[in-house]
Amino acid sequence: MFPVSPASDSENLVSVQARYAARAAAACGYDFRSLDGADGYLFEVSDGARRAQFAAGAGTPYALNDTRAASIARDKGFCAEVLRGAKVPVLAGEKFFVTGRWADMRKPGREAADALAYVRRIELPVFCKPLAASNGLYAEVIESAEAFEDYLQRVSREHFAVLIQPFVRGIEYRVFVLEGRALFSYRKHLPSVVGDGRSRVRDLVAALPREAGAPLPKIRARDVGGGSSGGCRAGRR
């Protein structure tokens, strides 16, 4: 049985989805409580007459999409195909499996060896990411076949398939759509710091504004031109 945390502790919950849900519930006048103690990966929202439970983390914390849509969205390859069929522009990409598990459940031609052969014959760099990961985990720019071999070894420990796409620089926006209406959007920026000639990069990162209780971002700097798809970018002036 999971410990129950009152709404007053919601700002200290580990799950960011739970913290956002608690704020939304408060704004709507609803009750909120964590059913997962201080972690908050299972929580409940109630208007007094009705109650609804949500699972964050590996679950689906957003009750705006049905199960079919949520399942498709969690597979980046399938999601791209559905969007392409709906005439929404998406990047080209090829899906490959990085582990031999469940190989008897698929046709040949998309295994790890096929992925390496594919990377060796296409233009580099490419952008690789697991089909079912989030928060930028294992989302990396790959600049050589040797780097891709190392990537395959690392990603296969936790994931079963990856998507290989062309590396494209550009401005990225996230658009929130409900029932065919775009309700809001925002532009995504890489975290960045500007050196002062004295402080360490780690200290500059620690001084950046962030949500209370949020962990420090991992420092994975590439070039100051914005070549990295995640992590923190450092610059000088």
Question: Above pLDDT 70, what percent of the chain?
Answer: 82
Task: Give a yes or no: residue 216 inside a domain.
Answer: yes
- Which of 150, 166, 182 corresponds to the end of one domain? 166
- Which of 113, 141, 166 corresponds to the end of one domain? 166
* Whether residues 105 and 151 fall in one domain: yes
* Whether residues 99 and 143 fall in one domain: yes
Which structural domain, as residue segments, surrounds residue 44? 7-63
Task: Give a yes or no: residue 77 inside a domain.
Answer: no
Closest of 76, 172, 218 to residue 133, by C-alpha: 76
Task: Give a yes or no: residue 185 inside a domain.
Answer: yes
First and final CA of the chain: distance in angstroms? 54
Is the pLDDT at 36 greater than 70, yes or no? yes
* Whether residues 184 and 231 fall in one domain: yes
**Between residues 85 and 66, which one has the greater pLDDT?**
85
Q: Extract the tokens encoding 214.
A: 């949020």
What confidence tier does 231 reach under pLDDT thresholds 50, 70, 90?
Answer: very low
* Whether residues 142 and 205 fall in one domain: no
Task: Give a yes or no: residue 76 inside a domain.
Answer: no
Is the pLDDT at 223 greater than 60, yes or no? no
pLDDT of residue 185: 94
Task: Give a yes or no: residue 200 inside a domain.
Answer: yes
Closest of 64, 29, 25 to residue 45, by C-alpha: 25
pLDDT of residue 224: 40
pTM of the model: 0.68
Is the pLDDT at 213 greater than 70, yes or no? no
What confidence tier does 4 reach under pLDDT thresholds 50, 70, 90?
Answer: low
* Whether residues 178 and 159 fall in one domain: no
The model's pLDDT over 43-63, given as tens digits with 9 standing for 90+, comes to 999 999 999 888 876 556 556
Domain count, the chain: 3
Under DSSP, the state recorded for 151 is H
pLDDT of residue 176: 84
Tell me what the mean pLDDT of segment 185-213 comes to: 84
